Amino acid sequence: MKIHIRNGHVIDPANGIDRAADVFIAKGKIVGVTGGNPRGDGAAPPGFEANATIDATGCIVCPGLVDLSARLREPGFEYRATLESEMAAAAAGGVTSLACPPDTDPTLDEPGLVEMLKHRARLPEFAHVYPVGALTINLEGKRLTEMAELAEAGCIAFGQANTPVLDTQVLMRAMQYAATFGFSVWLQAQDPYLAKNGVAHDGEISARLGLAGIPVVAETIALATILHLARETGVRLHLTRISSADGIEMVAAARATGIDVTCDVAVHHLHLCDQDIGFFNPHARLDPPLRAAADRDALRAGLASGAINALCSDHTPVDDDAKQTPFDEAEPGATGLELLLPLTLKWAAEMQLPLATALARVTIDPARILGIGGGTLSAGAAADVCVFDPQAPARISRETLKSQGKNTPFLGQELKGRVRCTLIEGHLAYDGAFA
C-alpha cells in the first residue's frame, strides 16, 4: 500500500518541518516529506506510485500523537471500557501510541498479563500500546516485580500509577534495581498522609465548599523524597502529572543539579482549576486534584517553556454510576483520548505558541520519554500520522465520544480541532470523513 497525503501543511517538530508539503508512505513507513513551494504538490520520490491519496487541504499533517497515560481498563474493568472502545477513541483522537499505567485488575505485575495485553492490542487499527509495568507486586509497595522479565514481555518503564510506595527503603531499592537494567521509573508525587481523605485542592474553594483538602505540600514533600532517591540511585526518573507551581520549580531545580528527570502534566490541569468544581461537579474530581488558578497558569507556562516535558490525556474512563454520586464519593478521573488534540490546540492558541512547539509536547517529546522511535515523520519511521483540521469544531458530547467513558468536565462544549484521519503504520485507523 502506497499512500500520498497531499495539499496539507506538514508539522513535524522533530525534523523542524513546518510548511506546505506532501507526505509519502509505503509499506507502513514514511518514505519522505517533500514540497514546500507555496502551491502545488510535492514531487513524489522516484518510482513512487500511490494506490491511495488523502487530500489534506486545509489540514495539518503531523506525527500521530503519543500519549503517556491512557487507561484501557483491561484487564479487570471491562465494564468501564474495553480495548476496542478505547482504541477507537485513540484513533479518533489522532493518538497512535500510548502508554498504559499498571493499575489494572490484576495489576500489570506479571509477564503473562503484559504479553496478553500486547497480544490483544495487536490489531492494525489499534494504537501501539506501551505498558508501564508495576514497580512492586500488586502495587503494594512491598516486593519488587520481575522487571527484567516484564521488560522482555513489553513493558517500557515501571511505575505505581497513583499508588505511592510508603516504604522509602523499598522505593530506593526499586530504583536501584531498575537502574541496574537501565529502566525508567515513573512516579506520581503525592504524600498519602497529607492527602488522606482529601478530594480537592486545599485552599479557598475547598474551604468554602466544605471539601477535604489536599495541600500542595502533599506533592512537594513526595517530590523531595523521590528526587533525593533518584539522585542517590541514578535512576532515570519520570514524574507523572505535576500539579503545582511549587512542584515545577522543584523539578527544574533538581534537573539543574544534574538529576535525570522528566515530567508531564495532564491536559485537564492546563485548562481547569479548583474553581471549575463549581457546584460540586463530579467530573472535576481528578487525581491529582485541580489546583489553584495560579498553579494552572504555572503549568501552562511550564509546558510552553519545556520545564514540563510532555502533555498527556491521563485518559481515565469512569462509568456513570461511579460519577453520579456526591463529589467526595465520585471516582477520580476524566476521559481524555479524544480531547488531547483539541485541548492542546486550545492551550497553544491561548498562549500564542507556534503550533510546532505545542505539537512537539504530544509527539516527539513524549516519544523520547517512552524511548520509542515514534513521534516523527522521518524517512523510514513507522507511518503513524494524524491529519486534522485545526479550525473544524469538535463537539464533546456523550454521542460523539467513542470512549466508553463519557466523563469529562468539557461535556457539552465545542472545541476547535477535529481529526480527519489517523494512520497507524500506514493503516487507515480512523477516517473522519465518514464519522
Partner 1 sequence: MNRNPQLNAHGELQHLITLEGLSREILQGILDTAEPFAEVAEREVKKVPLLRGKSVFNLFFENSTRTRTTFEIAAKRLSADVINLNINTSSASKGESLLDTVDNLAAMQADMFVVRHASSGAPYLIAQHLAATGREHIHVVNAGDGRHAHPTQGLLDMYTIRHYKKDFTRLTVAVVGDVLHSRVARSQIHALRTLGVPEIRVIAPRTLLPSGVADMGVRVFQDMKEGLKGVDVVMMLRLQNERMQGALLPSPQEYFKYYGLTPDKLRLAKPDAIVMHPGPMNRGIEIDSAVADGSHSVILPQVTFGIAVRMAVMSMLAGS
Say if CB 56 and CB 67 are below 8 A apart. no
Say if CB 149 and CB 157 are below 8 A apart. no
> Is 321 an interacting residue with respect to partner 1 (CB under 8 A)?
yes
> Is 327 an interacting residue with respect to partner 1 (CB under 8 A)?
yes
Nearest CA to 157 out of 123, 194, 184, 188 is that of 184
Q: Which is nearer to partner 1, 168 or 325 (CB)?
A: 325
> Is 325 an interacting residue with respect to partner 1 (CB under 8 A)?
yes
Q: Which is nearer to partner 1, 315 or 323 (CB)?
A: 323
Tell me the sheet residues that pair with 4.
Answer: 24, 53
For residue 80, the minimal CB distance to partner 1 (Å) is 16
Residue from 324, 391, 400, 413 touching partner 1 (CB under 8 A): that is: 324
Taking CB under 8 A as the criterion, which residues in 103-162 touch partner 1? none
> Is 215 an interacting residue with respect to partner 1 (CB under 8 A)?
yes
Distance between alpha carbon 346 and the CA centroid of its chain, in Å? 16
Rounded-to-integer distance, Cα 338 and Cα 397, Å? 11
Q: Which is nearer to partner 1, 76 or 326 (CB)?
A: 326
The three-class DSSP label of residue 301 is: helix
> Where would I find the H helices in 50-156?
83-92, 111-120, 147-153
Rounded-to-integer distance, Cα 299 and Cα 304, Å? 9
The active-site residue, picked from 109, 287, 314, 389, is 314
Residue from 105, 297, 329, 350 touching partner 1 (CB under 8 A): that is: 329
Q: Which is nearer to partner 1, 64 or 282 (CB)?
A: 282
> Where would I find the H helices in 46-190?
83-92, 111-120, 147-153, 168-181
Nearest CA to 144 out of 177, 167, 192, 168 is that of 177
**Binding marks (x or -) toward partner 1, 383..402, rule CB under 8 A?**
--------------------
For residue 166, the minimal CB distance to partner 1 (Å) is 18
Q: Which is nearer to partner 1, 65 or 200 (CB)?
A: 200
Q: Which helix or strand (DSSP H or E) is residue 387 part of?
A: strand 385-395
For residue 188, the minimal CB distance to partner 1 (Å) is 22
For residue 206, the minimal CB distance to partner 1 (Å) is 7
> Where would I find the H helices in 154-292?
168-181, 204-209, 216-233, 245-256, 267-271
For residue 406, the minimal CB distance to partner 1 (Å) is 14
Rounded-to-integer distance, Cα 127 and Cα 120, Å? 11
Put residue 168 in one of left, alpha, beta given phi > 0 → left and psi -120 to 50 → alpha.
Answer: alpha
CB atoms within 10 A of CB 66: 30
Vertex 410, ends 405 and 415: CA angle to 5°?
115
Question: Is 314 assigned a catalytic role?
Answer: yes
* Torsion angle, alpha carbons of 347, 365, 283, 159, to 10: -160
> Is 279 an interacting residue with respect to partner 1 (CB under 8 A)?
yes
> Is 413 an interacting residue with respect to partner 1 (CB under 8 A)?
no
Tell me the sheet residues that pair with 315.
Answer: 70, 334
Say if CB 424 and CB 384 are below 8 A apart. yes
For residue 205, the minimal CB distance to partner 1 (Å) is 7
Q: Which is nearer to partner 1, 207 or 379 (CB)?
A: 207
> Is 275 an interacting residue with respect to partner 1 (CB under 8 A)?
no
C-alpha cell of residue 194: 497529607
Taking CB under 8 A as the criterion, which residues in 224-243 touch partner 1? none
> Is 278 an interacting residue with respect to partner 1 (CB under 8 A)?
yes
**Binding marks (x or -) toward partner 1, 194..213, rule CB under 8 A?**
--------xxxxxxxxxxxx
For residue 281, the minimal CB distance to partner 1 (Å) is 7
The piece of 243-251, 293-301, 317-325, 425-433 that touches partner 1 (CB under 8 A) is: 317-325
The piece of 30-38, 114-122, 181-189, 276-284 that touches partner 1 (CB under 8 A) is: 276-284
Q: Which is nearer to partner 1, 278 or 354 (CB)?
A: 278
Q: Which is nearer to partner 1, 73 or 285 (CB)?
A: 285
> Is 414 an interacting residue with respect to partner 1 (CB under 8 A)?
no
For residue 141, the minimal CB distance to partner 1 (Å) is 23
Q: How many residues sit close enough to partner 1 to count as binding (CB under 8 A)?
A: 25
Active site (catalytic) residues: 314
Contact residues toward partner 1 (CB under 8 A) are 202-213, 215, 278-282, 321, 324-329
